[in-house]
Amino acid sequence: MSKETYILAAQTITVDRGDHCQKFVRGDDVSDAPASSLQQMIRLNQAVTEEEFAELDAPPEPEEVVDPEAGGDNDPPAGWLDTPLADIGLEPNMLKAFVEANLSTIREVVEYGNANDGSLTSIAGIGEASETKFKEILQELAPKE
């Protein structure tokens, strides 16, 4: 039985390999990514089979943004917020800044932002551009209705 090949459908993903981070771009074979990272990419439809990738015409249009703070029907599943930051495609310097601030999941970063008037810029190494990029990544990862 041959091993399935998975192709990155997202624009970019950075995978933490322990001693270094590896960046993948759309169309790259991500089959050799660490199993937990690959499973997360597959679950989030960021990695697809070769056949599925060939059928993709273009990346999907962004849908309604789900606010993790909002109540009601738009609440993302609890497991989504508990996704490790190392699994969501952050740039290495951004991941390092969050790790040094003892933040390791999406939930921890969102809670930090909520406690700091919605801002992440008080974290050393996180400026406005990084904060904007993190919010864009949240929009991509947030469950869609």
Q: By three-state DSSP, how is residue 14 classified? A: strand
How many folded domains does the chain comprise? 2
Instruction: Measure the CA–CA gap between 28 and 15, rounded to whole angstroms.
Output: 13
Dump pLDDT digits (tens) for 75-134: 445 567 888 888 888 888 898 888 888 888 888 888 888 888 888 989 999 989 888 888
Residue 66 lies in a domain: no
Report the CATH number that the domain containing residue 114 is assigned in CATH.
1.10.150
Q: Inform me whether the pLDDT recorded for 32 exceeds 50.
A: yes
Contact by Cβ (8 Å): 43, 10: no
Range of the domain at 99: 72-141
Instruction: Measure the CA–CA gap between 49 and 98, rounded to whole angstroms.
Output: 31
- 42 with 96, same domain? no
Q: In the chain, what percentage of residues exceed pLDDT 90?
A: 1
What pTM did the predictor assign? 0.47
The β-bridge partners of 48 are 7
- 133 with 78, same domain? yes
Dump pLDDT digits (tens) for 129-144: 888 888 888 888 877 7
* Closest-CA residue to 38 (of 49, 25, 27, 47): 47
Residue 67 lies in a domain: no
Q: Inform me whether the pLDDT recorded for 10 exceeds 60.
A: yes
- 94 with 51, same domain? no
Sheet strands (E) in the chain: 6-8, 12-16, 21-25, 47-49
For residue 25, give both structure tokens: 């771009």
- Identify the residue whose tokens are 């981070």: 21
Residue 79 lies in a domain: yes
Phi, then psi, of 89 in degrees rounded to 5: 85, 30
Whether the CA torsion 30, 31, 36, 40 is positive or negative: it is positive
Residue 135 lies in a domain: yes
Residue 103 lies in a domain: yes
Per-residue pLDDT at 114: 87
